[in-house]
A and B are shown apart, each in its own frame.
Chain A
Amino acid sequence: MAEVSLRNVVKRYDDVEAVRGIDLDIADHEFVVLVGPSGCGKSTTLRMIAGLEDITDGDIVIGGDVVNDVPPKDRDIAMVFQNYALYPHMTVAENMSFGLRLKRYPKAEIKSRVAEAARMLDITDLVDRKPKQLSGGQRQRVAMGRAIVRNPKVFLFDEPLSNLDAKLRVQMRIEIKKVHQKVRTTTVYVTHDQVEAMTLADRVVVMNKGRIEQIGTPNELYHNPATRFVAGFIGSPAMNFLPCRLEEASGKLNVRLTDRLSFPLPGSRAARYQNVPRGEKLLLGIRPEHLTEGNGHAAPGVEPFDAVLDVTEPMGMETLVYFTLEGTQVCGRVDPGAGARDGAPLRMAVDLNNMHLLNEGTGVVL
């Protein structure tokens, strides 16, 4: 039984509130990712779960027990640090077995656990080496091995991939996912990289300025963001936010972007926005992949328009195009063969079936 619950957890440093009341329930075997920009409180929250920081207020429950005053070693958790934190004077095997040796596990069991973890992480050849003889990726594996060997209730990961280069990061992400499939331990994973969050998590917790913005599966967060922050944070390139107004003409709802640019709302969205006040200044949220080249075919909700491109970024499998609408820079994704050129006009189309309307002041998605 390894559920983790945070109930109204607060962390205050002198006058600054780093974490302002977090409520979170993590089910057994779940892989939850805390994601957000630096300073949002995600690492602090993780460290409070670990017991490395005292809790100012609230409760943390692990496996049914309130652990607020329980020291880290008695919480039955294991942690993987950003800087690996391997003991430099011990070999890989000694690093991995340190916790078990402290608890005086029988030698045979220690040996078998270390061997098993080493096999799982493909570091069996390295067990007699010292950390300084290992590469960054290898060290990170040893750090994970140290956690696996303990067989804890919860794994805690504190930005473990931030110190690795891009290619290695992709590899290690897959390793982590594989390990989780095999070992199935409840995991709390902190990162600032939303790609890691989306690819690894069962559920993602988006944090900002010490509070939770939204909790949900990656898909939910991607397609149904609750706030502007979440909408702009998840997905790369980020969602476009265009100032607009909702207008009604002959019983039909339109969204007006500029004096000359106005689109009718597709049926799939019209019902949702029935009660939104007309004429009020709103933001239209539309992801770049829904701003594509116009191909002349009409489809419900897909509206054509013309844009003059500022810059294009050929990415190989697609081309990112940037243009300006009333002073706002907009990003779209077009087919590489669509003829997009710096400074040239391009016929584009917006798929309004995937639009979002946001209240600019409150940041809430309507």
Chain B
Amino acid sequence: MADVAFQHSSVLGVRTAAKRTGLKNALRRKSTIAFLMTLPLILLITILVIYPALYALHLATLNKAMTKFIGFGNFEFLFKRETFWMVVKQSCIFAVTAVIFKALIGFIVAHFAHNIPSKKQRKWRGMLLVPWVIPPAMSTLAWLWLFDPSYSAFNYTLSFFGIGPIPWLGDAIWARFCIILVNVWFGAPFFMIMYLAALKSVPDQLYEAAAIDGANWWQRIWYVTLPMMRNIIAITTLFSLIVTFANFDITRILTAGGPLDRTHIFATWAFRVGIEGGDIPLGASVSLFMAPILAVAAIFILRDISKRGNEA
């Protein structure tokens, strides 16, 4: 029979007095522990990332000796300098071009790697990822040597084809080419690995269905592969844009911004102005200029991702 026994409650010695506050204690405990566990992370980011970023804004408004507040003075100064606009142009062209090539090459190589049997893939993947594993500063030295004006190994080889010695790093246009090349060499493996993983996650049956529907190889890529990989493509592109845009090592070592400032990007010029030139506020202004461009790129791509997420 139904056992709804209300009368038992008075018999059992019941402690209900501390119920509400006891509950709060339990909650607080879990929350506090969790908070304490994330505290180092929060401190680290607040003190060494967020605060400096804001401090940079403050610095940009000071004069060279950092004694006076000059508002937008630094920016006005920069806007009048031709070098500054060169830097802006070079940074943007450099970042966009490099990322496009990195993505393209990464995508193509990932496809080839995907074609061969899985067991063999490991070996090839291993070799192709090497550029990304070597510290960029070290590998850039090798490229510097390869591009050396007197001893360039490339020039040596090209001379056999009758192509005259190319002033790799001496000529503005060639220097830009070299920087993009090295950047692509360094960054394409990252794209390849990501795309390879994404390719593996596309179900074979989709390709089979497309093949039955009559799609040829590039139609399959356009209609099946790319849409399935939209998210990965967006995320890797965003990451790479930021990293490439903010690149320092490669440019600094290859050309240090030369010849004649023709290869300066934000980071190297900020270093030149801020550290070598001793004008920290001006340097801060230069590097701050990256922020709005990065933010715009981030917003566009993140918005695209969340939109896709909603569609799915």
Say whether A and B bind each other: yes
**A47-60 vs B: 1/0 string, CB under 8 Å?**
00000001000010
Residue A318 lies at the interface, judged by CB distance under 8 Å to chain B: no
- Note all chain A residues with C-beta closer than 8 A to B4: 23
Is there contact, CB below 8 Å, between B12 and A215?
A: no
Is there contact, CB below 8 Å, between B1 and A216?
A: yes
**A3-36 vs B: 1/0 string, CB under 8 Å?**
0010100000000000000011100000000000
Residue A313 lies at the interface, judged by CB distance under 8 Å to chain B: no
Residue A88 lies at the interface, judged by CB distance under 8 Å to chain B: no
- Note all chain A residues with C-beta closer than 8 A to B23: 54, 68-69
- Note all chain B residues with C-beta closer than 8 A to A220: 1
**B2-22 vs A: 1/0 string, CB under 8 Å?**
111110110011111011001
A157 CA to B285 CA, complexed, in Å: 64
- Note all chain A residues with C-beta closer than 8 A to B121: none
Chain A residue, CB-CB nearest to B9:
A7
Interface residues on B, range: 10 to 19
Residue B33 lies at the interface, judged by CB distance under 8 Å to chain A: no
Interface residue from A25, A69, A71, A216 paired with B8 (Cβ < 8 Å): A25
A215 CA to B16 CA, complexed, in Å: 27
Interface residues on A, range: 20 to 34
Interface residue from B12, B16, B18, B26 paired with A5 (Cβ < 8 Å): B12
Chain B residue, CB-CB nearest to A23:
B4
Residue B25 lies at the interface, judged by CB distance under 8 Å to chain A: yes
A59 CA to B10 CA, complexed, in Å: 13
Interface residue from B3, B16, B18 paired with A59 (Cβ < 8 Å): B16
Residue A214 lies at the interface, judged by CB distance under 8 Å to chain B: yes
Is there contact, CB below 8 Å, between A65 and B9?
A: no
Is there contact, CB below 8 Å, between B12 and A226?
A: no
Secondary structure dominating the interface of B: loop
Q: Output the least CB separation between B22 and chain A (Å).
A: 4
Residue A279 lies at the interface, judged by CB distance under 8 Å to chain B: no
**A213-237 vs B: 1/0 string, CB under 8 Å?**
0111000100000100000000000
Is there contact, CB below 8 Å, between B8 and A5?
A: yes
A107 CA to B172 CA, complexed, in Å: 76
- Note all chain B residues with C-beta closer than 8 A to A23: 4-6
**A237-258 vs B: 1/0 string, CB under 8 Å?**
0000000000000000000000
Interface residue from A61, A69, A216, A226 paired with B26 (Cβ < 8 Å): A69
Is there contact, CB below 8 Å, between B13 and A215?
A: no
Chain B residue, CB-CB nearest to A226:
B2
Residue A66 lies at the interface, judged by CB distance under 8 Å to chain B: yes
- Note all chain B residues with C-beta closer than 8 A to A214: 2
Q: Output the least CB separation between B18 and chain A (Å).
A: 8
Is there contact, CB below 8 Å, between A68 and B12?
A: no
Is there contact, CB below 8 Å, between B2 and A216?
A: yes
A203 CA to B16 CA, complexed, in Å: 29
Is there contact, CB below 8 Å, between B16 and A66?
A: yes
Q: Output the least CB separation between B34 and chain A (Å).
A: 15
Q: Output the least CB separation between A34 and chain B (Å).
A: 14
The A158-204 residues at the B interface (CB cut-off 8 A) are 203
Chain A residue, CB-CB nearest to B29:
A71
Closest 3 CB pairs of A and B: A69-B22, A23-B4, A25-B5
Residues of B near any A CB (own CB < 8 A): 1-6, 8-9, 12-16, 18-19, 22-23, 25-26
